[in-house]
Amino acid sequence: MTKTAWVFPGQGSQEVGMTADLLDSPAAKQRFEEAEKILGWSVIEVCQSDEEKLSNTLYTQPCLYVVESILVDALREKGHQPNLVAGHSLGEYVALYAAGVIDFESGLRLVKRRAELMSEAAGGQMAALMGFDRDQLEKKVEETADVVLANDNSVAQVVISGTPEGVDEVISNIKTKRAVKLKVSGAFHSHLMAPAAAEFAKVLEGVDFAEAKVPVLSNIEPLPVTDPATLKERLSKQMTGSVRWREIMLKLPELKIEKVVEIGPGKVLTGLIKRTCPDIGLENINTLAQIEG
């Protein structure tokens, strides 16, 4: 049997209309109704609205969690199970759901609070950098106050996070093929999120984590574990810690993973894996039709 990992994209992968294929499914309809009671707004309506609203952190994160969780449920219904799971930033919450660590409602309540706290964050800046000298970048980040490597996505693409002044200082002093400032309210995955992380920790403390049914590679520590206490501890550090996606990808062949299925909108993660681990088979699942097929 092919050893398979399921991976889940995070904020930035959302697409207007990403619920369209799910609307005729009774099971999906029930999930949408559950979500509306918890959130106080309709995931379906937001996903069918304009791009600006869907891209608002407050809405983006819950919408992605709900849509990706529904796809997980549909795959399970067909008898599919992974050997390993991982998610990029917000996607880690879906990975924990897929591994049976948290139930749908607990996960959505966590994501709702996370989104609220992150959308309230202000005064920070993030920028994606492509094509750079890693040694030069890491040296400059280390020398610059209030800037960190927030997302280590691949050898050729990272995201830095920090104060606007610090981010500008790094961008203006290293050579890159491209540098793009992200439309976010705060310096996510940096120490500047500490107040929000402390508030979130209070919510996380009250949620029960179960033993994972399959190993999880966490953003903060990409080593496979199933222990609930370890997974909760790692998740508690995620808001201020770096997303170590490059290391997660490199761990896949070490763990004998032969195929990766990206579950959710877009193909960002499979694109990164294709360039990093070319021998691993890849598949994208973003509609119920693909699962039925």
Residues with active-site annotation? 89, 189
- CA dist 58 and 285 (Å) reads 25
- CA dist 67 and 50 (Å) reads 17
HSE toward the beta carbon, residue 52, CA cutoff 13 A: 0
Q: Read off the tokens for 188.
A: 């996510």
Amino acid at 219: N
What sections of the chain are H helices per DSSP? 26-39, 43-47, 51-54, 57-77, 91-98, 104-120, 134-143, 164-173, 194-205, 228-236, 245-254, 268-276, 288-292
Nearest to 121 by CA among 188, 54, 182, 181: 188
> Residues near 183 by Cβ (< 8 Å), separated by ≥ 6?
55
- CA dist 45 and 262 (Å) reads 24
